[in-house]
Structure 1
Amino acid sequence: MRQGFLLLALLAMIGCNNVLAQQVENEQPDTEIKVVDAPEDQAIAARLGAITDAISGLEDVEISVTAGVITVKGQVANAQLKDELTTIASRLEGVVHVQNQLQEQLAVSSRLAPATEKFREILGTTVQMLPLLLLAVLAVLLFSLLGSWLSRRNSLLRKLGLSELATNLGMRFVRLIVTSIGILIALELLDATALVSAMLGVAGVIGIALGFAFRNIVENYLAGVLLSTRNPFAIGDFIQVDDMTGKVVRLTSRDTVLMTLDGNHLRIPNSQIITSPMTNFTRNPLRRFEFNVGVSVTLDLVRVRELAISTLQNMPGILTEPRPRVLILELGDSAVSVRVLAWIDQRKTDFLKARSEAIRLVKTAFDQAGIEMPEPIYRLHMVDMASSDADNSQPVSTVPMQPAVVNADVESIDVSADTTIEQQLKDELKQSAEENLLPAATGNKTD
């Protein structure tokens, strides 16, 4: 109850204050505004005329003053001068009102007059600054020539062991830096150093935009610089990148060109080569091949291994050191998996030919020795318990040691290095004028 009375009293006070404020606003002053020593109309007109004569574009304005009311007539160049004259006239002492009857000039000559005047000012300023302009241009030209001269002196970077692409990139940076110094000196002479910050800001924004737009091109270029510096391969090397293989033809600033064993050109982006696992089969002239053979579980594995090793030792192109090896991989349900390994010299022996002939000769030797290479089958044996002891007494079958390879067969084996791709690669290098950042091959390479 008490709170209700307080609320009513508060509302009543607010209403009274509003009524009092409205009464104050409606009250009119009883005293008159007296003007003492007010300027005469002629004095106001003379003062405004002097002002318009001093402002360009208001020289032809007609001014009349009657009882403190200013009337201006005539034509002005633009609306800005019209508004400025009204503001100036209203600030004069003794002015009661301003009647602005000015009209904008629509003639072409009047419109061109300000622009002509501005051009004359710029021309005059340019003539005054002509010696500084010539000196600034001379500074830019001198530093540009100095940068070009330094960019051709790449012997120092060559001595550091940098590649041609890395050297060219470094020389371009040197030229850019020297030329930029000349431009900064020219701007300092012209007292336009504030323009440098604006140029740097614009260059930064443009650089970010170009970086996003040409990201792949920049990545491939920088990857080409790294590849040409590290030299992970040379012309003619047989390499593998991911699942792509071929002989290296050339390295460009954007991609690496390979010639596959089918004679096709394969282009791989440099950035992919940098970020992917790569195998170079040519750096080490010795290379090992391997293949798996399945033999029966009833055979003597020691004799199987000796037969395979002796067969490979009699084969042309197989190195005696490291010697061939035979490893037993696993025991299956119906066969034992055996892995045969041997080494060759890629400079004299073709890898694919040697592996093919090794598989053929091992199979021939196993067939001649009666070694069974079973298919994955399942057999069900029904054994009588009474005869189990007699069956267990049977010896394990052995492999008769027979000559692994017939002499006539050995003479017909061809494992010589295949130079078909090498010849096509040489022809490609002679015919194509595309840039190549790799040094020339020192000799024939094989796969």
Structure 2
Amino acid sequence: MRQWIQLVLAVGVFYCAGAWAQQAGSEQPDTEIKVVNAPQDQAIARRLTDITDSISGLENVEISVNSGVITLRGEVANDQLKDDITVIASRLEGVVHVQNQLQEQLAVRSRLAPATEKFREMLGTTIQMLPLLLLAVLAVVLFSMLGSWLARRNALLRRLGLSELATNLGMRFVRLIVTSIGILIALELLDATALVSAMLGVAGVIGIALGFAFRNIVENYLAGVLLSTRNPFAIGDFIQVDDMTGKVMRLTSRDTVLMTLDGNHLRIPNSQIITSPMTNFTRNPLRRFEFNVGVSVELDLVRVRELAISTLHSMPGILAEPRPRVLVQELGDSTVTIRIFAWLDQRDTDFLKARSEAIRLVKSAFDQAGIEMPEPIYRIHMANRAEKTDEQQPSPLQAATTPPEFRAATADAAAVDVSTDTTIEQQLNAELNQSDEQNLLPAATDKAAGKAG
């Protein structure tokens, strides 16, 4: 009985184990790959071959397909094509894997092949666009000729009173604008107007670079235009710029050339003349000179002033109107400083000669009149000093009123030479006649070739 029970239990356990195994087997996923209507390897190879034949640079690729695995061999032009064909092959239906064994071409001929092909395409495009290209070139040439013709018609700007340099600059702008219009029309015919923005951008960068590189040249050129338009001086004018003096020889587009009183050529950049104080001594023919004289504090300054004025009145070249003047400049410990002023006409009288002779004659008149021009001294006054009578201390000005001495000073003044010195003018004219350097100033006139010393 016990054996039957054990047998029944064993059969039950076996049956339950079989049922459990069948249930567990039915719950496992089906991992088998099923292919329905998968293309054959030959069809995959033909499809990929047609694709490679249509792409430039992939003509030499060898393709083999085995069980959906594609193997690529051969040479391609570059790595980009190598990656592209791998992506294309992996997207074909029925492809399981792609083995890329392609090599990049290293031969010079193969490297030049794409460039040659590109050149051929460009040549073909150029031949097709040749009529439009010729029309564009014709437009540029015609507008360039028109700009040149207009640039030679500068009579209008001349009538406006512009200088030669300003007129030339204006005509250059006219020519540039007309030529630029022709270039824009040519670009429009070639459907290349997008190049205009690029050209303007490049021109802006180049302009900034050139502006920094040639800043001084541009400043001097523009300053030359302003100077030739404003005409602050003429040929032969005696001018001073900062501490530099000389007579104007010529004005160029870059600098102004002066002849100094030593006969040297001095070139000053135009920009410095524009931005610096400038004195023109020739524009007004009348010019005043001045000098200081120190006299004793014990003198009658009214009589001193009268003697100096009478001496200058008797000197040739000194104008009666405006008349000479004598002013008290400073009162020192032992000296009174007086300042003497006098006017002359530079057209007839040399400035340096007249001033030199005026100083000499005033000193001579003061010496003859006994007027002291002392140096600074210290005086000691004693309590019991002897007082001198008026006869013991004759006034120095008494001699100044004596007719013989005054007549001697007048005769000395009549013998002075204050005529204009034409040495620099002669050298300047000789230089102008010999030199062929550009000169933007008009030809010298009698007034321009002033006699300033």
The TM-score normalised by the length of structure 2 is 0.88
Q: Do residues 94 (structure 1) and 94 (structure 2) align?
A: yes
Query: Would the aligned equivalents of 1:299 and 1:396 in 2 still touch at CA under 8 Å?
Result: no
Q: Give the Å deviation of 1:35.
A: 2.7
Q: Give the Å deviation of 1:313.
A: 0.5
How many Å separate the matches in 2 of 1:311 and 1:101?
Answer: 117
How many Å separate the matches in 1 of 2:259 and 2:114?
Answer: 71
Residue type of the alignment partner of 2:429: K
Query: Residue 366 of structure 2: SS of its match in structure 1?
Result: helix
Which sections of structure 2, spanning at least 5 residues, go unmatched? 1-27
Partner of 1:16: none
Shift of the 33–231 alpha-carbon distance from structure 1 to 2, 3 Å rule, reads farther
Partner of 1:34: 33
How many Å separate the matches in 1 of 2:187 and 2:395?
Answer: 97
Q: Do residues 442 (structure 1) and 427 (structure 2) align?
A: no
Partner of 2:295: 295
Q: Do residues 424 (structure 1) and 427 (structure 2) align?
A: yes
Cα RMSD, aligned residues only: 2.1
How many Å separate the matches in 1 of 2:107 and 2:274?
Answer: 70
Q: Give the Å deviation of 1:395.
A: 9.1
Number of aligned residue pairs: give it.
417
Partner of 1:369: 369
Shift of the 298–60 alpha-carbon distance from structure 1 to 2, 3 Å rule, reads closer
Residue type of the alignment partner of 1:34: I
Partner of 1:354: 354
Query: Would the aligned equivalents of 1:62 and 1:74 in 2 still touch at CA under 8 Å?
Result: yes
Query: Residue 430 of structure 2: SS of its match in structure 1?
Result: helix
How many Å separate the matches in 2 of 1:72 and 1:367?
Answer: 122
Q: Do residues 412 (structure 1) and 415 (structure 2) align?
A: yes
Q: Do residues 317 (structure 1) and 320 (structure 2) align?
A: no
From 394, 399, 404, the counterpart of 2:397: 399
- 1:225-253: CA deviations, max 9, x gaps? 11111101000000111111111111111
Query: Would the aligned equivalents of 1:133 and 1:190 in 2 still touch at CA under 8 Å?
Result: yes
Query: Residue 383 of structure 1: SS of its match in structure 2?
Result: coil
Q: Give the Å deviation of 1:99.
A: 1.4
Q: Counterparts of 1:131-142 in structure 2 under 5 Å?
A: 131-142=131-142
Query: Residue 399 of structure 1: SS of its match in structure 2?
Result: helix
Shift of the 333–124 alpha-carbon distance from structure 1 to 2, 3 Å rule, reads same
Shift of the 396–287 alpha-carbon distance from structure 1 to 2, 3 Å rule, reads same
How many Å separate the matches in 2 of 1:267 and 1:34?
Answer: 97
Partner of 2:156: 156
Residue type of the alignment partner of 2:237: D
How many Å separate the matches in 1 of 2:322 and 2:60?
Answer: 110
Query: Residue 375 of structure 2: SS of its match in structure 1?
Result: coil
- 1:340-361: CA deviations, max 9, x gaps? 1111110010001111111111
Shift of the 225–87 alpha-carbon distance from structure 1 to 2, 3 Å rule, reads same
Partner of 2:77: 77
- 1:33-79: CA deviations, max 9, x gaps? 53331333222222222222322333343322111111122333333
How many Å separate the matches in 1 of 2:339 and 2:414?
Answer: 26
How many Å separate the matches in 2 of 1:62 and 1:197?
Answer: 47
How many Å separate the matches in 1 of 2:269 and 2:97?
Answer: 80
- 1:302-335: CA deviations, max 9, x gaps? 1111111111111111111111111111211001
The TM-score normalised by the length of structure 1 is 0.89
Moved more, 59-68 or 269-278: 59-68
How many Å separate the matches in 1 of 2:84 and 2:104?
Answer: 13
Which sections of structure 1, spanning at least 5 residues, go unmatched? 1-28
Q: Give the Å deviation of 1:86.
A: 1.2
- 1:173-225: CA deviations, max 9, x gaps? 11111111111111111111111101000000000011011111111111111
Q: Counterparts of 1:184-203 in structure 2 under 5 Å?
A: 184-203=184-203
Residue type of the alignment partner of 1:438: L
Moved more, 111-120 or 263-272: 111-120
Query: Would the aligned equivalents of 2:286 and 2:344 in 1 still touch at CA under 8 Å?
Result: yes
Q: Give the Å deviation of 1:391.
A: 8.6
Shift of the 404–324 alpha-carbon distance from structure 1 to 2, 3 Å rule, reads farther
- 1:270-323: CA deviations, max 9, x gaps? 111111111111011111111111111111111111111111111111111111
Partner of 1:11: none
Partner of 2:6: none
Partner of 1:18: none
How many Å separate the matches in 2 of 1:236 and 1:276?
Answer: 20
Q: Give the Å deviation of 1:445.
A: 1.5
Residue type of the alignment partner of 1:178: V
Q: Counterparts of 1:261-340 in structure 2 under 5 Å?
A: 261-340=261-340
Q: Give the Å deviation of 1:336.
A: 0.6
Partner of 1:113: 113
Shift of the 215–258 alpha-carbon distance from structure 1 to 2, 3 Å rule, reads same
